C-alpha cells in the first residue's frame, strides 16, 4: 500500500472510537431503512400470496350485492350458457380458538379449472379420488394448510368446534394442503354447501371465479351479456390490486418514516465522516506540502469513505434483517387491524431492499466525505489549516446556507400548493421542508447561543459562558449535531402532535357517533331475527337502531355500504359536514339518496348535491348525495343509506348490529348481561357498552401507532449517537484548550461540568429550534399527508406538554450523550498544554 494511503488510514485506525462511531452512524441508518423496507415488502408479498391462493387461475370474478347473489346465476352460466371454466365461491369468516380465518366454500369439481388444491394429504392409504368424494358428501369436513393445522394443534381426522355467523359448528379436518410458501396460512376450505350452512347463506354465492383468456373478447362479451343486472364482471387482478391499494397509503407513510430515520442517519454519517476528514487537516496540509496532488488526496479520502460505507452498510443490513423481523410483527398487526387479514411470520429478504440499503449507506458516506474533502484539499499547502480559518469560513457561508434553506422551504410550500392530492409529492414537500429548515438551524443556533451566553454567564460564571459560547464558536462541529437532534425532535413533535390530534378527533367522533348505550352484533353474517325481537323487548330499552354493513365490489375498489334504521336519538350521532341536518334527514329517509363518508367524498370528488351510481340487486342505480359525514372508520370509503332505501334496492333483510337506547336510570352493564343471557343457545354475539367500545377502539388506535413510536425512537437513538460523536470530536480538537484550562486552575469537575453544560446547551438549542419545524410538520402531516393518504380531516390541537416534554427530552438526551465526553474532558492532562505539536 502506498505510504500516502497508509498515512491516511493510519489516522483512522489510531482513532478507533471515531471510526466506530462513523460506522455505527452509517450502520444504524442503513439498518432502519432495510428493516422497514423488508417488513413492508414481506407484508405485501404475504398479502399477494394469500390473494393468489384465493384467486388461483381466475382471470375474472362475477360479483353481486353485499349480501351475495343467488346460486342460480352459476347454474345458468354453466348449464344454459356452456361456460365450463367457472367456479362458485362462498366466502366468510370463521374462528377457531380465537384465531380468525378466511372460510372458503368451494365446489371441488369445478375448482380443477381455477385452483389446483394439489398436495392434499390425509391418512396413509387415502387416494385423491376418495378424498374428493368424502369432501363432497360429508357435511362439516374441512381442509387447511399443514402449518395452520400444526399451529392450531389439529391433526387429520380430529374433530373441533368453529364459530361462523355467530354460531358454533362441529367440523373435522379431512386433509391438509401442502403449503411451502404460506399462501394458505389463513385459509379454511370447505365444501360450498357446508360453507353456506355455516355462514347462513343457503342458496347464495359470494362470487363466481372465471378463467377466460384475456384476448378472448367475444367470450367475455358473451359472459357479460349472460349476467343478470344485479351482478357484474370484474377482473381478478384489478380486484386484488384495489385491495392492495388500500394499504398503500399506510405503507407509504411507513416508508416515509424510515426515510426520516435515514435522513437523521445521514446527518450522523455526515457528522462522523466529515470529522474524520477535518481532523486530518494537518496531515492533509503536510501531504499537500510534500507534493501529493489534490486529486490524489480526494481519491484517498473518498475511497476510505466508500470502504467505510461498504463495511458499515453490510453490518447495517445484517442488523436491518433482524430488526425487520421485529418490525414485521408490528406492521402486520397494523395491517390486520386496518385493512385485511395477512399472516406473515418470516421476513422474506428481497435483494432490492438490501441493494437500497447498500446504495444509501455508501452514497451517504461518499457524499458526507466529499464536501469536507473538497474544502480541506482546496487550501494552499501552507495556508494555516487552523480551526479559526475553518470557523471563519463556516461563519461566512452561514448566510448563504440559510438563504438556500429559505429557498428550499419556499419550493416545498409551492409543491404543497400545486400537487393536488398526490401523496408522494406531499411527502417530498415534507422532506424539502426538513432540508430547508435544517439549513436555517445553524444560523438560528448562532444567534440563540449569543443570546444565551450572557444569561449563562450571569448564573453560572465563566465556565458556563465558555460552554454556551463554544456551541456557536465551534459551529462547524456543533451545527451538524444540533441539526441532527433538531430534525429527530421535530419529527417527534410533528408525529406526536399529529397522533394526539388524531386521537382527540377520533375520541370526539366516537363520543358523538356512538349514541346508543349498548351495541350487540356479529362480525360477519346476520343477527338471528328472533334474537333481535327479544332484544327489542328487553325491559329498560327505550328505542333501538339497526345497521347492516356490506361491501360493494367495483373495479376501482371496495366501498362499504351501511344501511341504517335510525332511532330518534341516532341522527345526532352523524355529523354532517356540508349540508343542513334539518333538510337532509327527512330526504335521506324517503328519497333515493345517500350520505357519503368524508374519505369517500375526498377520493371520488363528490359531496352534497352530487349524484353517484351504485350497483344494486336491481342493476346500477343513481343516488343523490345529500351530505358528507365525518368518519374515522378504518373502512374509510363508505356510503350510508336508510334501511328503507336499502330494502328497496337490495334483497337482504339481515341486520348485523343493533343499538339499544336505554331508559334513564337503567345501567348499561345490566343490559349487557341481559343481552348475553338472551343470546346463549341462539347465537354467539358480541355485546358491549358504549364506553367499552370507545375504549377498545382507542386501544386499536394506539396499537396502530406503535410502529410510528418505534421508528421515531430509532431516529432519536441516531441523534443521540450524533451528539456523542460531535462532543467527542469537539473534545479531541479542544484537547489543548481544555488542558490549558486545567493548568490555569479549573478543576476536573469544572471542566466536566462545562462539557455537560455544553451538551445540555446543544439539547436546549436543538429543542427550541425543533419546535417551529415540529409544528409545521404536524400541520403538513394532518392537513396534507393524512388527508391525501386516508382522506381524513383531523382537527389539529397542540398540547403544550408535548412541546415542553420534547425540549426536556432533548436536554436529557444531550446531557446523557455528553456524559462520556465530559468524563474524558475532566481527565484532561494539564501537561498537554505545555507540549508542542
Partner 1 sequence: MKDIPAPGHTEISVCGLHRRFREGAREHVVLNDVNLDVLRGETVALRGRSGSGKSTLLNLVGGIDVPDSGRVVVAGVDVTKLDEHRRTLFRRQHIGFVYQSFNLVPTLTVADNVRLVLELNKVPEGDARARIQQLLEAVNLADRAQSYPDVLSGGEQQRVAIARALSHRPSVLLADEPTGNLDDTTAETVLGLLDDLVRKSGGTMLIATHSATVASMCDRVIELHNGKLEERA
Binding residues vs partner 1 (CB under 8 A): 386-388, 391-392, 461-462, 465-466, 469-470, 473-474, 736-737, 740-748, 750, 830-831, 833-837
Q: Which is nearer to partner 1, 14 or 80 (CB)?
A: 14
Q: What b/e sequence results for 423-449 when a residue is b if at least 16 CB atoms lie within 10 Å of its CB, and e otherwise?
A: beebbbbbebbbbbbbbbbbbbbbebb
Give the whole-angstrom CA distance, residue 265 versus residue 361.
9
Torsion of CA 758, 761, 763, 766, to 10 degrees: -130
Q: In the bound complex, what is the minimum distance in angstroms from residue 476's beta carbon to partner 1? A: 13
Q: Which is nearer to partner 1, 298 or 833 (CB)?
A: 833
Q: In the bound complex, what is the minimum distance in angstroms from residue 458's beta carbon to partner 1? A: 11
Q: Which is nearer to partner 1, 473 or 638 (CB)?
A: 473
Q: Which is nearer to partner 1, 466 or 718 (CB)?
A: 466
Q: Which is nearer to partner 1, 594 or 755 (CB)?
A: 755
Coil vs helix vs strand at 367: helix
Q: In the bound complex, what is the minimum distance in angstroms from residue 438's beta carbon to partner 1? A: 24
Q: In the bound complex, what is the minimum distance in angstroms from residue 386's beta carbon to partner 1? A: 7
Q: In the bound complex, what is the minimum distance in angstroms from residue 473's beta carbon to partner 1? A: 4
Q: Which is nearer to partner 1, 772 or 830 (CB)?
A: 830
Give the whole-angstrom CA distance, residue 626 versus residue 539.
36
Q: Which is nearer to partner 1, 397 or 435 (CB)?
A: 397
Hey, which residues does 686 pair with through a beta bridge? Answer: 521
Q: Which is nearer to partner 1, 354 or 473 (CB)?
A: 473
- The closest of 175, 202, 207 to 188, measured between CA atoms, is 175
Q: In the bound complex, what is the minimum distance in angstroms from residue 366's beta carbon to partner 1? A: 32
Grid cell at residue 356? 437500497
Q: From its phi and psi, is residue 30 left (phi > 0), alpha (psi between -120 and 50) or beta?
A: alpha
Give the whole-angstrom CA distance, residue 767 versus residue 179.
52
Give the whole-angstrom CA distance, residue 469 versus residue 451.
10
Q: In the bound complex, what is the minimum distance in angstroms from residue 445's beta carbon to partner 1? A: 14
Q: Which is nearer to partner 1, 342 or 746 (CB)?
A: 746
- Contacts for 691 with CB less than 8 Å, ≥ 6 apart: 668
For residues 135 and 108, the answer to whether their CB atoms sit within 8 Å is: yes
Give the whole-angstrom CA distance, residue 46 versus residue 253.
19
> Based on C-alpha coordinates, what's the Rg of the chain?
33
Q: In the bound complex, what is the minimum distance in angstroms from residue 275's beta carbon to partner 1? A: 18
CA triplet 524, 531, 650: central angle to 5 degrees?
Answer: 50
Give the whole-angstrom CA distance, residue 729 versus residue 390.
15
Q: Which is nearer to partner 1, 741 or 771 (CB)?
A: 741
Q: In the bound complex, what is the minimum distance in angstroms from residue 398's beta carbon to partner 1? A: 17
Q: Which is nearer to partner 1, 99 or 286 (CB)?
A: 286
Q: Which is nearer to partner 1, 465 or 524 (CB)?
A: 465
Grid cell at residue 83? 361456460
Q: In the bound complex, what is the minimum distance in angstroms from residue 744's beta carbon to partner 1? A: 5
Q: In the bound complex, what is the minimum distance in angstroms from residue 22's beta carbon to partner 1? A: 26
Q: In the bound complex, what is the minimum distance in angstroms from residue 486's beta carbon to partner 1? A: 22
Q: In the bound complex, what is the minimum distance in angstroms from residue 832's beta carbon to partner 1? A: 9
Q: In the bound complex, what is the minimum distance in angstroms from residue 740's beta carbon to partner 1? A: 4
Q: In the bound complex, what is the minimum distance in angstroms from residue 736's beta carbon to partner 1? A: 6
- Checking 671-678 for CB contacts under 8 A at 24+ apart, the result is 671/517, 671/518, 671/538, 671/540, 671/541, 672/518, 674/538, 675/518, 675/520, 675/535, 675/538, 678/531, 678/534, 678/535, 678/538
For residues 371 and 274, the answer to whether their CB atoms sit within 8 Å is: yes
- Contacts for 244 with CB less than 8 Å, ≥ 6 apart: 44, 47, 48, 51
Matching residue, cell 399472516: 343
Give the whole-angstrom CA distance, residue 32 versus residue 324.
8
Segment (H or E) for 562 = strand 557-565
Signed CA dihedral, 626, 628, 630, 633: sign only: positive
Give the whole-angstrom CA distance, residue 715 versus residue 489.
9
Q: Which is nearer to partner 1, 490 or 753 (CB)?
A: 753
Q: Which is nearer to partner 1, 315 or 729 (CB)?
A: 729
Give the whole-angstrom CA distance, residue 18 versus residue 647.
73
Q: In the bound complex, what is the minimum distance in angstroms from residue 743's beta carbon to partner 1? A: 6
Q: Which is nearer to partner 1, 324 or 469 (CB)?
A: 469
Q: Which is nearer to partner 1, 395 or 558 (CB)?
A: 395
Q: Going along 122-238, which residue ranges are E strands?
A: 141-145, 159-164, 167-177, 187-191, 204-205, 207-210, 232-235
Amino acid at each position: 500500500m502506498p505510504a500516502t494511503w497508509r498515512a491516511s488510514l493510519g489516522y483512522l485506525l489510531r482513532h478507533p472510537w471515531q471510526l466506530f462511531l462513523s460506522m455505527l452512524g452509517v450502520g444504524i441508518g442503513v439498518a432502519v431503512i432495510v428493516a422497514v423496507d423488508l417488513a413492508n415488502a414481506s407484508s405485501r408479498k404475504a398479502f399477494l400470496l394469500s390473494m393468489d391462493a384465493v384467486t388461483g387461475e381466475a382471470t375474472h370474478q362475477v360479483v353481486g350485492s353485499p349480501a351475495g347473489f343467488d346460486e342460480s346465476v352459476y347454474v345458468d352460466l354453466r348449464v344454459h350458457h356452456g361456460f365450463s371454466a367457472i367456479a362458485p365461491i362462498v366466502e366468510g369468516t370463521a374462528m377457531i380458538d380465537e384465531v380468525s380465518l378466511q372460510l372458503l366454500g368451494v365446489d371441488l369439481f369445478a375448482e380443477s379449472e381455477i385452483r389446483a388444491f394439489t398436495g392434499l394429504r390425509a391418512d396413509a392409504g387415502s387416494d385423491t379420488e376418495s378424498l374428493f368424494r368424502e369432501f363432497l358428501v360429508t357435511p362439516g369436513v374441512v381442509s387447511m394448510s399443514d402449518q395452520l393445522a400444526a399451529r392450531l394443534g389439529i391433526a387429520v381426522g380430529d374433530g373441533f368446534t368453529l364459530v361462523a355467523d355467530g354460531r358454533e359448528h362441529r367440523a373435522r379436518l379431512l386433509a391438509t394442503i401442502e403449503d411451502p410458501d404460506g399462501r394458505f396460512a389463513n385459509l379454511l376450505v370447505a365444501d360450498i354447501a357446508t360453507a353456506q350452512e355455516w355462514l347462513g347463506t343457503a342458496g347464495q354465492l359470494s362470487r363466481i371465479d372465471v378463467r377466460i383468456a384475456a384476448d378472448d373478447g367475444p367470450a367475455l362479451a358473451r359472459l357479460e351479456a349472460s349476467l343478470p343486472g344485479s351482478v357484474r364482471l370484474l377482473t381478478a387482478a384489478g380486484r386484488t390490486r384495489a385491495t392492495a391499494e388500500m394499504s398503500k397509503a399506510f405503507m407509504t407513510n411507513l416508508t416515509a418514516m424510515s426515510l426520516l430515520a435515514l435522513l437523521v442517519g445521514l446527518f450522523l454519517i455526515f457528522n462522523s465522516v466529515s470529522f474524520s476528514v477535518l481532523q486530518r487537516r494537518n496531515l492533509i496540509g503536510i501531504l499537500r506540502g510534500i507534493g501529493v496532488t489534490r486529486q490524489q488526496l480526494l481519491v484517498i479520502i473518498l475511497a476510505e469513505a466508500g470502504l467505510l460505507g461498504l463495511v458499515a452498510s453490510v453490518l447495517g443490513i445484517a442488523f436491518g434483517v433482524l430488526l425487520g423481523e421485529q418490525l414485521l410483527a408490528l406492521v402486520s398487526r397494523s395491517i390486520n387491524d386496518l385493512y385485511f387479514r395477512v399472516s406473515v411470520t418470516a421476513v422474506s429478504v428481497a435483494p432490492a431492499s438490501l441493494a437500497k440499503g447498500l446504495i444509501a449507506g455508501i452514497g451517504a458516506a461518499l457524499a458526507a466525505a466529499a464536501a469536507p474533502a473538497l474544502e480541506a484539499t482546496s487550501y494552499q499547502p501552507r495556508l494555516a489549516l487552523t480551526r479559526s480559518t475553518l470557523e471563519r469560513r463556516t461563519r461566512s457561508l452561514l448566510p448563504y446556507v440559510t438563504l438556500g434553506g429559505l429557498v428550499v422551504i419556499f419550493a416545498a410550500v409551492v409543491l404543497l400548493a400545486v400537487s393536488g392530492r398526490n401523496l408522494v409529492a406531499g411527502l417530498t414537500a415534507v422532506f424539502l421542508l426538513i432540508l430547508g429548515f435544517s439549513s436555517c438551524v445553524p444560523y438560528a443556533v448562532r444567534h440563540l447561543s449569543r443570546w444565551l451566553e450572557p444569561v449563562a454567564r450571569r448564573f453560572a460564571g465563566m465556565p458556563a459562558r465558555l460552554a454556551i459560547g463554544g456551541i456557536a464558536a465551534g459551529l462547524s462541529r456543533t451545527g451538524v449535531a444540533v441539526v441532527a437532534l433538531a430534525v429527530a425532535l421535530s419529527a417527534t413533535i410533528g408525529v406526536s402532535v399529529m397522533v394526539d390530534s388524531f386521537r382527540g378527533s377520533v375520541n370526539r367522533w366516537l363520543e358523538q357517533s356512538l349514541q346508543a348505550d349498548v351495541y350487540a352484533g356479529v362480525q360477519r353474517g346476520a343477527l338471528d331475527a328472533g334474537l333481535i325481537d327479544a332484544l327489542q323487548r328487553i325491559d329498560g330499552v327505550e328505542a333501538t337502531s339497526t345497521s347492516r354493513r356490506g361491501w360493494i365490489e367495483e373495479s376501482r375498489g371496495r366501498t362499504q355500504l351501511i344501511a341504517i334504521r335510525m332511532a330518534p336519538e341516532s341522527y345526532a350521532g352523524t355529523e354532517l359536514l356540508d349540508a343542513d341536518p334539518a333538510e337532509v334527514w327527512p330526504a335521506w329517509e324517503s328519497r333515493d339518496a345517500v350520505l357519503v363518508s368524508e374519505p369517500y367524498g375526498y377520493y371520488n370528488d363528490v359531496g352534497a348535491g352530487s349524484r353517484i351510481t351504485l350497483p344494486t340487486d336491481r342493476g346500477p342505480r343513481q343516488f343523490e348525495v345529500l351530505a358528507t359525514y365525518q368518519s374515522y372508520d378504518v373502512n374509510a370509503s363508505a356510503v350510508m343509506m336508510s334501511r328503507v332505501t336499502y330494502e328497496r334496492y337490495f334483497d337482504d333483510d339481515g341486520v348485523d348490529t343493533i343499538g339499544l337506547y336505554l331508559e334513564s336510570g337503567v345501567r348499561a352493564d345490566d343490559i349487557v348481561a341481559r343481552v348475553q343471557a338472551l343470546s346463549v343457545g341462539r347465537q354467539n354475539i358480541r355485546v358491549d357498552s358504549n364506553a367499552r367500545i370507545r375504549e377498545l377502539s382507542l386501544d386499536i388506535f394506539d396499537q396502530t401507532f406503535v410502529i410510528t413510536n418505534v421508528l421515531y425512537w430509532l431516529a432519536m437513538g441516531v441523534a443521540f449517537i450524533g451528539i456523542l460523536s460531535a462532543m467527542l470530536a469537539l473534545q479531541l480538537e479542544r484537547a489543548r484548550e481544555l488542558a490549558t484550562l486545567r493548568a490555569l486552575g479549573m478543576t476536573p469537575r469544572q471542566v466536566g461540568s462545562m462539557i455537560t453544560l455544553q451538551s445540555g446547551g446543544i439539547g436546549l438549542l436543538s429543542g427550541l429550534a425543533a419546535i417551529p419545524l415540529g409544528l409545521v410538520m404536524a400541520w403538513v402531516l394532518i392537513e396534507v399527508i393524512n388527508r391525501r393518504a386516508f382522506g381524513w380531516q383531523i382537527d389539529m390541537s397542540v398540547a403544550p406538554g408535548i412541546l415542553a416534554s420534547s425540549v426536556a427530552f432533548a436536554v436529557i438526551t444531550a446531557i446523557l450523550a455528553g456524559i462520556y465526553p465530559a468524563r474524558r474532558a475532566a481527565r484532561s492532562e494539564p501537561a498537554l498544554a505545555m507540549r508542542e505539536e
